[in-house]
Structure 1
Amino acid sequence: MHAPANRWKHSVTLALTVLGITAPVFLLAAIGWGWVRLGLSYDTVFVTRLAMTLAVPALILTALAETTLDPAAVARMALAALTAYGIALALWAVACAAVGAERRTWVAPLAFGNTGNVGLPLALFAFGAEGLALAVVVFACSAIIQFTLGLWIVAGGGSPLRALREPMVAATLLGALMLWQGWRLPAVAANALGLVGQMAIPLMLITLGVAVARLRVKAMGMVTALAAAKLAAGAALGAGTALAFGLEGAAAGVLTLQLAMPVAVTSYLLAEKYGADAQPVAGLVVASTLLSIVALPALLSALV
């Protein structure tokens, strides 16, 4: 007799839980969007440089160096993430070749997602400190591949070794070394870097909102369909890879969540910088971000 009432109560509780997880992410992005719509100035170049050069590397380094996770679990998560992104690149490259689409424009945006701006805070809110540490591992793997092989694809050639100049990559390698060796940061350095790293998530989310508000795109029909395919394929690939590597609990949830992230604004900036067709990529950013407002809560309801 009480079963329908219990199911309804469970559904309401789950909905409120998912809302509590996703609302801070989209509210912070909405602040950036509203800031631009009010006509207020926002120096995206400076803020992005601050975040990507200082705040995000500090977040990555402290998360890896100070984590209490088993190094073997971190290594398995990293291997799973690298495998998943390698498969994603291969699948989207084959798909582009099959339909005659330009590889430089489409492959990298469809393979990589917004594992930083959206993925990190969602993992934190959904799975706690353990989820954030695991999400940083996936984010770091994504960044390494995106700024090596992904950059090579977008640029149409060149040396992938340019990634070694990226502070995020250096922080990832140093953090991985410290985790492997069991080293710890001095207390003063850990506290200082921890404070710097706390800037990363708010800065990235607000800047995401600013970037989306400033994008101007046309012909959204095709890119909306591609954005939906990217989100669905990413979630399926993440879940399948987690199963293949025997990941469970927070690790499986984080990998699935991170692979299902919408297209990052970084993809648009790289396309613009290296002469790929940037407008369709801008459309993918907008469409996938808007779709994620519905898709990510639905996915989280199945994961948490």
Structure 2
Amino acid sequence: MNLSLTVLEIVAPVFILAATGFGWIKFGFEYRIQFVTRLAMTLAVPCLIFTALMKTDLDKSTLSTFLMASIAGYGVIAVVALGLVRFAGLNQRTYLAPLIFGNTGNLGLPLSLFAFGEAGLGYGVVVLAVTSILSFTFGIYLVAGKGAGSKVLKEPIVWATLLGALFLWQDWQTPRFLTNALDLIGQMAIPMMLITLGVAVARLTPGKISWAIGVSLAKLLVCIAVGWGIGLLFALDHVAFGVLVLQLSTPVAVTAYLLAEKFEADSEAVAGMVMVSTLMSVVSLPLLLAVLL
């Protein structure tokens, strides 16, 4: 009973905020998702990442090991996903990127914080940073068939990660007044991302549900297995292990749908994957947390 209550306390705030965004749209209220997303990704999330890295008490060598584990995890998932796509005869431009990348920002970051505390947040932002860099380079290449190396240099999340890593490495700290201001801005990120997730899901039109169910289930099982295996291989501690498995197992991100729409892949199929995998996560993530805690 205590474990069930603990898991409920962790996941309830996440899904309540997402449900708030979902209900906001269903009640017909205005929500300018482009503005809120830009505010979050340009200002709030970079501040959250920078301050989390700068203030973390985690050992530098431990974070370096976790970074390598995260990159290795995505590498293995990409290889397995490519094999699944080719075996099933699916369109690579449509299905491969959603199979690889999960919602490590809107969903994974708050869960990492609520489940594992500040240490979990520190590890969580590392996975988010890796996901963001790979999504804006390799991910765009998979969907568009062309590189986007220059685009990644324009992303504030990338620079916040590099700057935060530099401050961590050098043991630097910003002045207290600036740290407090950055903290305050960063605190906007998690509620904004969760409400926006609910808004985005509410506006999606699901398509090709039967394929979406099968592919989403395959993604979940592959990502859990890979995260678990990589965590054991790198001998991660309990918190790092839990965050890695949790982050890699998050559902398809809404950004996958936006990329498919922008680069004329099958956006309807990706929308179906976003909705189905997100609904699956309502059950799968609490069960996963029950095992990881």
Q: Does residue 240 in structure 1 map to residue 229 in structure 2?
A: yes
Query: Which shows bigger deviation, 253-262 or 271-280?
Result: 271-280
Shift of 1:90: 1.9
Shift of 1:274: 1.7
Q: Deviations over 1:220-267 (max 9, x none)?
A: 111011111111211111111010001021010000100110011011
Q: Does residue 130 in structure 1 map to residue 119 in structure 2?
A: yes
> Partner of 2:206 in structure 1?
217
> Partner of 2:2 in structure 1?
13
State the SS of the aligned residue for 1:157: coil
Normalised by the length of structure 1, the TM-score is 0.94
Shift of 1:94: 2.4
> Partner of 1:104 in structure 2?
93
Q: Does residue 205 in structure 1 map to residue 198 in structure 2?
A: no
Mapped partners of 2:28, 2:10: distance in 1: 29
5+ residue gaps in structure 1?
A: 1-11
Mapped contact 1:227–1:287 kept (Cα < 8 A): yes
Mapped partners of 2:140, 2:50: distance in 1: 23
Normalised by the length of structure 2, the TM-score is 0.97
Mapped contact 1:66–1:185 kept (Cα < 8 A): no
Mapped contact 1:152–1:160 kept (Cα < 8 A): no
> Partner of 1:147 in structure 2?
136
> Partner of 2:242 in structure 1?
253
Mapped partners of 1:126, 1:80: distance in 2: 20
Shift of 1:158: 2.6
Shift of 1:161: 3.2
State the SS of the aligned residue for 1:116: helix
Query: Which shows bigger deviation, 206-215 or 216-225?
Result: 216-225
User: What is the percent sequence identity of the aligned residues?
Assistant: 54
Q: Does residue 286 in structure 1 map to residue 275 in structure 2?
A: yes
Following TM superposition, the consecutive aligned residue runs of length 4 or more in structure 1 with deviations greater than 3 angstroms are: none
Mapped contact 1:105–1:281 kept (Cα < 8 A): yes
Mapped partners of 2:158, 2:206: distance in 1: 31
Q: CA-atom RMSD, angstroms? A: 1.0
The structure with the larger Rg is 1
Shift of 1:166: 0.8
Mapped partners of 1:214, 1:297: distance in 2: 25
Shift of 1:150: 1.0
Q: Which amino acid aligns with 1:279?
A: E
Shift of 1:159: 3.4
Q: Does residue 79 in structure 1 map to residue 63 in structure 2?
A: no
